[in-house]
Every structure is written in structure tokens, then in C-alpha cells.
Amino acid sequence: MIEPEAATLLHDEFFWISTINKATVVVESKSGLIPEALARLAARGIARVEADMAQPGAKRPSSYIAYEPLLIAATSPEVTAIHAGRSSQDILSSARIAIQRERALAFAAAFDAVIGRFLDLADAHRNTIVPNYTNGVAAQPNSWAHELLGITAGLLRDRERLAQYLERFDMCSMGATVLNGTGWPLNRDGMAKALGFARPVRSAFDATCIAPVDVSLEFASIVGSAAIHAGSFLNEVMVQYAEPRPWILLSEGGDNTYVSSAMPQKRNPGLLNNCRADCSDVVAEMNAVFLRVHNVVPGMTDGKSTVKNGRMSAAATSMMERFLKVLNALRINPERALEELNSDWTASQEIADRLMREHGLPFRIGHHMASRMVSWARANNVLPLNFPYAEMQRIYREEITEEFPEASPELPMSEAEFHEALDPRRIVEGRRTAGSAAPTEVSAMLAEDRAALKRFEDAADALRAREAAALLELNRCFGAFL
């Protein structure tokens, strides 16, 4: 796995324009399209331009129109022969796809670290029982591991789309020229391989008019979805800060929390606030990408800017890096989580389920009976651990008499079974369906998710390695002309 900070070295448009020139010299010389003397002249000029642009304060050109005069000045107008069969369109389209691919790989490294941390937390909290919520209300007891794996499932879908995206846009526009190809027999496969791509873009029109827009558009939808998943989790943690005794919060100090200037009791979750804002920024940048290309005819430059689209990529990677800090700073109090479960009636459905499953009572009758139980308990300020068995017997008899008189009015559950049915830990352990919170299912899903993450990491590492090897080989071949 590549560490996030090791995957953020990104090349600019000047680098790719110059690299495309190198590939042109190597590929066209090998194909016999340009003579060796011209290839050597071009190589010396390219090397000189690169050296000049490496000087402090040099303004690296981001378009071929600005690059070519520098090349001519370093050599002669003869060198412009390497531009035969090319255009600013296919050069910049290739550069933009390459740049966005590198940005996506940097995001992938940060994203993989987040998913890996979710899986580590799930592994460590298999036996931590917490309340889960639907409609913002405590609903069911669950293991925190199972909840984390559910969130991870959504993140892995985003990651799968990212993996497909990286494969889908592993293609080079060179040889498309403006938009309909060229009479110059440029070796498109050779150019793609030399630049570290798997293949050329099949359609020349797609190569310069559609793909260089789609490469940012599709990435925007992926990071936007990931931001929404991250924000959802962050807000669930954030809700706990409204409680006087949270069961999950950030460790105090450092960049995690800060104190109030007026209220000494407060520990504001600054890291959570900032990461939530990061998620909003990513969604905002996603919308900006879509709006720039909305109602624009093919071939326009509105959606192709590497600078504007780069803001989205940078925001997405930064979001994931801060999200990882949040996950590392989380502290959970299992005893407090269990106390919160036992202070509400999230286990009441288990009563109805057991009466049906173990004792043959119609589900809806059991559900009505459990609802009566909860209503009585709340009216009398009684919690699950203290609910009197005799009162349960009375409520059962009342429900059966009113709604199901053909059944026996005697509560079929023993006192031990009744109290066991209200135990959040036993409820979680007793789940039997595939994908449930049962410990065996949690272990299985954890192994499956680790394997999926490993596949994605390996594929990204292979893509990075192939690009690096291709550029290394290109520079070796280019060096022969110097």
C-alpha cells in the first residue's frame, strides 16, 4: 500500500507537454516518421527547455502554443516537424487525463487509509454494544463493529467506482489531433504505452471533446458520494456532543478540541467541525464541476481547466486526510453506550419476535403487547433492567383478552427468558441472518472487506508502478538522442 503522502507528487501541464514531446521523438523516430538528425535536434531542444524551466522563478508554460516558441528558440524552426499529426487539443487532452489520473491516485491513497482505519476499528470493537438510530431516534442495539462495517460497505462502493474509473480513463488522446484523427500515421498505441497509458482513446472525437471533460465529471461524482458518506458518520458522532455524557467523542487536546473563551466547561470538537466543513467543500466543488459543463456544446474548454478541477481533487484528498485524523481521535465508552441502551426501550422488538418465534403468538399481537409494555414503563419511569415480571404478566393477559381471546392469557415466557430478551448483548449475539450483527457474520464481512480493500490497493499500486516504469523507460530511450 502506498502511504497517502507518498502518492501526492503530481505533475503539471508543462511536465506532460514536455513528456509528450519526448514520446513523439522516440515513437516517431522508431517508426521512421522523422529522421534521426531531426530527432536529435528536438531532443536537445526539449532538454534545454526543461532545464530552463527548472530554474527558480521560471514560468512553466501550460499550453503547447506557449511551449513551442521556447523549443524553437532553443533549436530552430525545423524542430516544429515533431508537431505534424498533433494538435494542442490532443496534447492537452492527454495531459489533462494524466493529471486527473494522478490526482485520483492521490485521493485513492488517502481514501484507502480511511477505509483501513474503519476496518481496524471494527476489528477492535466486535464486542462493543451501542445504540443505533433511525429517524434520529434510538432504534436497536448493535455491535459497533457491525455499524462500522455497514458504513464501510458504502465507502467500498465509492472505492469500487474509483477503481473502475481509474481503469476506464487509463487511455491516451494522442493521435486524435483536433477531433477527427490525422493523415500523419502516428503510432497511437506506441504513444499511449510510452506515456504510461493502457491504450489510446478509441474515438478521436471522444478523445478531445468528451473524455477530457468526463475525466473530471465522473471523479466529481465519486468524491461527492464519499463526502456524503463521511459527513453522515461525522454528524452521528457530532450529535453526541449535545449529550452531557456522550458514549463516543474525540480525545481532548491538540487539534481535536478547543475550549470556549467564556464557558470553561466546554470542549468544542474543532476537528469534527473542520472535517464536516471539508465534506461540504467537496460537495460544493462537485457541483461546480457539473455546473461548468452543463449546457455546453462538445469541444468547449469550460470543464477542462486543470486549475479549477484541481480544487475539487485537492479538497477531496484533504477531506480524507482530516477524516483519518478524526477516526484516530475517536474514543468510545462501552459502559456508557450500554447504559444508554438500558435507559431506553430499544430491545422491545425482541419481546415480540420471541413470542412469535418461540411461542407461536401472531407477530402483530406480540408487537401490540410490547408497545403496551413500553407505554406503561415510560408512564411509570421504569427502565428495562427494572421492569417487574408480574407487570409483564398482567399486560400480556390484558392484550390477549382484548385482541386474541382464543389464546391462553398466561405469559408463555419465563422470568429468565423475559429478562434475557431485554439484554442488548444477547440480542446482538442471537442474530441469525446473513449480514447481521452475529459475531460470525461480523468476522466474515471483516475478512471480505479487507480482501476487497487489498484488491483496490494492489490495482492502484500497479497503475502507479506502470506509469513510473513507462516514464523511466521513455527517459532512457529519449536519452539516447542526446
Whether residues 162 and 96 fall in one domain: yes
- List, for residues 182-241, the tens digit of each pLDDT value: 999 999 999 999 999 999 999 999 999 999 999 999 999 999 999 999 999 999 999 998
State the Cα torsion 127-131-132-137 to the nearest 10°.
Answer: 180
Strands 137-143 and 171-172: unpaired
Q: Is residue 206 part of a domain?
A: yes
Whether residues 410 and 306 fall in one domain: no
For the beta carbon of residue 229, count every other beta carbon within 10 angstroms: 19
Nearest in space to 121 (alpha carbons), one of 97, 99, 143, 96? 143
Instruction: Let me know how long the chain is.
Output: 482
Q: Is residue 480 part of a domain?
A: no
- List, for residues 307-355, the tens digit of each pLDDT value: 999 999 999 999 999 999 999 999 999 999 999 888 888 888 899 999 9
Whether residues 115 and 44 fall in one domain: no
Whether residues 289 and 176 fall in one domain: yes
Domain end marker among 67, 85, 103 = 85
The domain of 320 spans 88-341+439-472
Nearest in space to 319 (alpha carbons), one of 282, 366, 346, 365? 282
Q: Is residue 477 part of a domain?
A: no
Per-residue pLDDT of the chain (482 residues; tens, 9 = 90+): 444 444 445 899 999 999 999 999 999 999 999 999 999 999 999 999 999 999 999 999 999 999 999 999 999 999 999 999 999 999 999 999 999 999 999 999 999 999 999 999 999 999 999 999 888 888 889 999 999 999 999 999 999 999 999 999 999 999 999 999 999 999 999 999 999 999 999 999 999 999 999 999 999 999 999 999 999 999 999 999 888 889 999 898 888 876 666 676 667 888 999 999 999 999 999 999 999 999 999 999 999 999 999 999 999 999 999 999 999 999 999 999 999 888 888 888 899 999 999 999 999 999 999 999 999 999 999 999 899 999 999 999 999 999 999 999 999 999 999 999 989 999 899 999 999 999 999 999 999 999 999 999 999 999 999 999 999 999 999 999 99
CA distances from 200 to 24, 25, 300, 413 (A): 14, 18, 21, 70
Count of domains observed in the chain: 3
Cβ neighbors of 161 (< 8 A, separation 6 or more) are 222, 225
Domain end marker among 52, 85, 118 = 85
Q: Is residue 17 part of a domain?
A: yes
Task: Match 450483527 to its residue by C-alpha cell.
Answer: 437
Q: Where are the alpha helices (DSSP H) in 246-305?
A: 270-293
Residue 337 one-letter amino acid: A
Whether residues 80 and 94 fall in one domain: no
Q: Where are the alpha helices (DSSP H) in 269-387?
A: 270-293, 306-329, 334-342, 348-359, 363-379
Question: Is 24 in contact with 472 (CB distance < 8 Å)?
Answer: no
Whether residues 364 and 458 fall in one domain: no
* Torsions phi, psi for 132 (to 5 deg): -115, 160
Strand, helix or coil for residue 137: strand
Q: How far apart are CA 351 and CA 371, in angstroms?
A: 10
Q: How far apart are CA 315 and CA 283, in angstroms?
A: 10
482 class by beta-carbon count within 10 Å (0-12 exposed, 13-18 middle, 19+ buried): exposed
Whether residues 186 and 260 fall in one domain: yes
The residues pairing with 249 across neighbouring beta strands, listed in sequence order, are: 331
Three cell numbers at 362?
Answer: 401472531
103 class by beta-carbon count within 10 Å (0-12 exposed, 13-18 middle, 19+ buried): buried
Nearest in space to 129 (alpha carbons), one of 145, 149, 147, 143? 143
